[in-house]
Chains A and B, each alone.
Chain A
């Protein structure tokens, strides 16, 4: 029973990892950019949530109303101001610039918030749970997070395949020059893609901050989880990314069940295993 329970909890955890991953997957799909600072931006969002909660005295989930638009704005400005200038045939500039950004965000957070670990208190909802058959109980909060993750993925899918914005994303991803000929300003399109990516990061960050304690140094770890979910699921497939997140979450929980020190390690090993047997992920769609 313990095993079934840890697998079920792992599935729910996978939703959070899918949220870490969705933004990463989105911008890679649109502009082939891998944002090394992605994890640190998640942590930044968690701190923004914390500050909003304290300053306005609102529930952490309500802070999403502020954090999500704020992160989207940061994303747009970051893309137009800095990242657009790094895009081109050479993969080194975007990699190194986002790497520099990662160091800046980490140390900036350290200056402002110190290295102390923080957590957002969501009140009674944190301990609330639903009793399911067989003695398994599902936390209400993890359930909300998982449902949100599914909704976010579905929403992104809808935007991508059913709206003018998504059409612009796909066209620009296919051929930047020809997309320009259609009157699309790629600098703006990329800015919107990053804004959307960081809006998702905003949700992920607030959820992270409610679920666990966080400090300025944990960003790279979140980047790696998100990255693993993307690769396990297969590049360019958002539902695959959700599946990847779930596989990662379940692997980690099974690892932890065997030995407490093996939680993260088991996730990494699952990733390396998938890489060994299915190098293009389980549900690939686009070429890396």
Chain B
């Protein structure tokens, strides 16, 4: 097995006195796509925030390319090549569509993703480039959020609730574009409510339950029963 690109080691996470994650160890190999599933409040978003640096921990609880990053700020983590598509898109309303994309590229990492490449992937965004993102549909906003993350030319992409609140047809468009988005060499963690979709796009799957890992499996081997048990804790 190749050396892990990203690793969490016995990660505990807290919001004040409330502990949201317990002893969570996850590894992602280079080029691997990981799915994280679990019920609401299972700690999926918390895990994403820990990796992205929005929640800080002990330094060695999170490692990227063997380097401890658990105590780094989010902006430092971003510069190392980890980009996130946050839950609910969270675009900048004061910035135009194009500015939202440009600011994503501001971490200063070069690579295949440029404004032109993003517009080629989502042509509709080029038509709306000067509009405020609030005038876009939910699906188009998700495209901006994905494009914004890609502009950083990341080695590791985090998708938090990629299809939450979107219409089925939009979800399909986004998933159809996924292979293009996660090109060779790029790893990804996808947090997803839709278990079928999660398993279809990922190499391996983790299921979180009340802050702990309840299941880890190759996606191809994950049985419905095992997932249901891990999901609901029955």
Q: Determine whether A and B are in direct contact in the complex, meaning some CB atoms lie less than 8 angstroms apart.
A: yes
Query: Chain A interface (Cβ within 8 Å of chain B)?
Result: 164, 167-168, 170-171, 173-175, 177-186
Task: Please determine whether B78 and A180 come into contact, CB atoms closer than 8 angstroms.
Answer: yes
Given A167-B99, A170-B92, A175-B92, 20 extra CB contacts under 8 A: A167-B95, A171-B92, A171-B94, A175-B90, A178-B86, A180-B74, A181-B74, A181-B83, A182-B75, A182-B78, A182-B104, A182-B148, A183-B78, A183-B79, A183-B106, A183-B152, A184-B75, A184-B106, A185-B73, A186-B75
A217 to B128, CA, bound (A): 53
Closest beta carbon of chain A to B102's beta carbon, Å? 7
* Known contacts A167-B99, A171-B103, A185-B75; is-contact A180 B53 (Cβ 8 Å): yes
* Contact A181–B78 (Cβ < 8 Å): yes
Inter-subunit contact A171/B95 (CB<8 Å) = yes
Query: Which B residues are CB-close (under 8 A) to A185?
Result: 73, 75-76
30 contacts between A and B (CB under 8 A): A167-B102, A167-B106, A168-B103, A168-B106, A170-B92, A170-B94, A170-B95, A171-B92, A171-B95, A171-B103, A174-B94, A174-B95, A181-B52, A181-B54, A181-B78, A181-B83, A181-B84, A181-B86, A182-B78, A182-B103, A182-B107, A183-B75, A183-B78, A183-B107, A183-B152, A184-B75, A184-B103, A184-B106, A185-B73, A185-B75
B123 at the A interface (CB under 8 A): no
The secondary-structure label for the interface of chain A is helix
B133 to chain A, nearest CB (A): 10
Chain B residue, CB-CB nearest to A236: B94
Is B74 in contact with A177, judged by CB distance below 8 angstroms? yes
How many residues in B have their beta carbons less than 8 Å from beta carbons of A?
Answer: 26
Among B79, B93, B104, B106, point to the contact of A164 (Cβ < 8 A): B106
**7 nearest A-B pairs in the assembled complex, by CB-CB distance:** A183-B107, A180-B74, A183-B78, A170-B94, A174-B92, A185-B75, A171-B92
Most A CB atoms within 10 A — which of B53, B83, B95, B152? B95
Question: How many residue pairs, one in A and one in B, have C-beta atoms under 8 Å apart?
Answer: 64
Determine the distance from Cα of A283 to Cα of B73 in the docked complex, in whole angstroms: 38
The verdict on B185 contacting chain A, using a C-beta distance below 8 Å, is no
Q: How far is the CB of B151 from chain A (nearest CB, A)?
A: 9
B residues in contact with A173, CB < 8 Å = 94
Mark out the residues of chain B between 37 and 67 whose CB falls within 8 Å of any chain A CB in the assembled complex: 52-54
Of all chain A residues, which has the CB nearest B89? A178
Task: Choose among A164, A171, A173 the residue with the greatest number of B CB atoms under 10 Å from its CB.
Answer: A171
- B112 CB-CB contact with A under 8 Å: no
Given A167-B103, A168-B103, A171-B103, A180 contacting B92 (CB threshold 8 A): no
Complex Cα spacing A167 to B104, Å: 11
Which B residues are in CB contact (< 8 Å) with A168?
103, 106
B108 within 8 Å of A (CB atoms): yes
Q: Give the Cβ gap from B142 to chain A, nearest Cβ, in Å.
A: 14
Q: B74 — nearest CB in chain A belongs to which residue?
A: A180
Distance, CA A140 to CA B165, complexed state (A): 61
Contacts of B103 in A (CB 8 A): 167-168, 171, 182, 184
In the complex, chain A residues whose CB is within 8 Å of the CB of B90: 175, 178
Nearest chain-B residue to A183 (Cβ)?
B107
Chain B residues lying within 8 Å of A175, measured Cβ to Cβ, are 90, 92
Do B75 and A174 have beta carbons less than 8 Å apart? no
The B76-135 residues at the A interface (CB cut-off 8 A) are 76, 78-79, 83-84, 86, 90, 92-95, 99, 102-104, 106-108
Residues in B with CB closer than 8 Å to A183 are 75, 78-79, 106-108, 152
A184 to B90, CA, bound (A): 16
Report chain B residues within 8 Å CB of A182. 75, 78, 103-104, 106-107, 148, 152
In the complex, which residue of chain A has the Cβ closest to the Cβ of B102? A167
Give the shortest distance, in Å, between B153 (CB) and chain A (any CB). 12
Give the complex CA separation of A178 and B54 in angstroms. 9
B89 to chain A, nearest CB (A): 10
A177 to B84 Cα, complex, angstroms = 11
Inter-chain contacts of A186 with B (CB < 8 A): 75
B78 neighbours in A (Cβ, 8 Å): 180-183
